[in-house]
Chain A
């Protein structure tokens, strides 16, 4: 199987990640819950993970790095911390349901900063038009999980700083592949999964949080236990209950892999693969490719469609040929609505640092065969 579904989760993991996860049950118990060596070893591993994340994302204080179950968990914390019923929020036209559904459940007044795909200046202008003194919070997807479009997060962050509006960044597709500088952005929250571009296991995520963070879960934290409220400091305020130590050990190894390889290098490599894929697919008769004119505006995710061949059927044919891609709306109907593909969806191919040019070439042959019905 050639795996091209890294936007859902990276399948190929660094050997160190697998090793760390396998060793964890023999090395660690619960961090922050005891003083014996197994608990303290767990505490050290957890702190190592926070410190590595803090370095990678330019966070001065590792206490601002909270461990979550996934990006959705982090986004729910962020949204519940800032937004209440009826509050006006401005979001991009590319948000995932992990943003839309919590906002809908809260009854927020959602304003969409709409803009064409791969046009970051137009997207920034749309945010500029909508962010005002009535805006309670702004949410922006750093990279579209459907189209790989790299949104103008720096420009939107500057608007938010200038107008004093809190910002939430969904770094689900960017963390590990596109530089994320939390210090420069000044966002209140940056949420990300551990299992995509950070190469950790599923069930892990990180939330870079500000003091505005409010607990989503309540329970034991191993600290201030006489207090019936959650501790008023980070990260304990956001981390009720026992930690996922095998996951955290794997995530820490994944963070080290990304730091050692280099986010810029990984991003450039993935963009190169996507350019190769886009060029090849554009040459296949009957295939429509969603590719940026300027490659700097697209990360390692790409959608395409073959009119007359439903996306799911295309994905099924590719699966039979040994290629893993994802078809449909990708839990991001808003992105499809923005681009005009809501009725039919797209086929999405997404790459990681472990894919190769020869895999892309094999994929192109398989798509051509699928379009021809072979």
Chain B
């Protein structure tokens, strides 16, 4: 299944997101946000497996750590996913 990318406002925020997901058993990796995914410039995102999206969003809502946006790979780059 394709990965999904949860963009975050800062590295520290991404680290909090990553910790919360890991504690709930959602595997994830912090990555640099690709420029064609980011409106704001440099930043960090948390990559998860697509099948974990629902669980991830539930965990992050409970932890009050919503991502800025969610993206998935698309032809020529990435497209935003509405969640």
By a beta-carbon cutoff of 8 Å, the part of chain A in contact with chain B is: 31-32, 34-35, 40, 43-44, 47, 50, 61-63, 222-227, 231, 233-236
Instruction: Specify the main secondary structure of chain B where it touches its partner.
Output: mixed
The reply to whether A223 and B9 contact each other, CB–CB distance below 8 Å, is: yes
18 CB < 8 A contacts A-B: A32-B10, A47-B12, A47-B15, A61-B16, A62-B16, A63-B12, A222-B42, A223-B9, A223-B10, A223-B40, A223-B42, A224-B9, A224-B40, A226-B41, A233-B9, A233-B10, A236-B10, A236-B12
Which A residues are CB-close (under 8 A) to B11? 31-32, 43, 222-223, 236
Distance between B6 CB and nearest chain A CB, rounded to angstroms: 15
Q: Do A224 and B13 touch (CB < 8 A)? A: no
* A35 and B31 within 8 A (CB): yes
Give the docked Cα–Cα distance between A62 and B11 (Å).
12
Chain B residues near A35 (CB-CB < 8 A): 31-32
Bound-state CA distance A359–B12 (Å) is: 43
Give the contacting residue for B41; candidates A50, A62, A224, A234; CB below 8 A.
A224
Min CB gap A38→B, angstroms = 13
| Bound CA span A34–B40, Å | 16
The count of A-to-B residue pairs whose CB atoms sit within 8 angstroms is 56
Q: Which of B3-26 contact A (CB under 8 A)?
A: 9-13, 15-16
Number of interface residues of B (CB under 8 A): 16
Determine if B43 is an interface residue (Cβ-Cβ < 8 Å). yes
Docked-complex contact A226 and B16, CB < 8 angstroms:
no
Q: Give 8 nearest A-B pairs by CB, closest first.
A: A225-B41, A35-B32, A226-B41, A225-B42, A32-B11, A224-B40, A47-B15, A236-B10
Q: Report how far A3 CA is from B51 CA in the complex, Å.
A: 59
Measured CB to CB, the nearest residue on chain B to A237 is B10
Which one of B15, B31, B43 lies within 8 Å of A223 (CB-CB)?
B43
Task: Using A34-B32, A223-B41, A236-B10 as known contacts, list a sample of 4 further A-B pairs with CB atoms less than 8 Å apart, ordered by residue number in A.
Answer: A32-B11, A223-B11, A226-B41, A235-B10
Of chain B, the residue at the smallest CB distance from A235 is: B12
**Are A226 and B12 in contact, CB atoms less than 8 angstroms apart?**
no
Min CB–CB distance A347 → chain B (angstroms): 43
Cβ–Cβ < 8 Å partners of A223 in chain B: 9-11, 40-44
- Pair A226/B40 contact, Cβ less than 8 Å: yes
Provide the residues of chain A in CB contact with B31, threshold 8 Å.
Answer: 35
CB of A46, distance to nearest CB on chain B (Å):
8
A47 CB contacts on chain B under 8 angstroms? 12, 15
Name B35-56 residues within 8 Å CB distance of A. 39-44
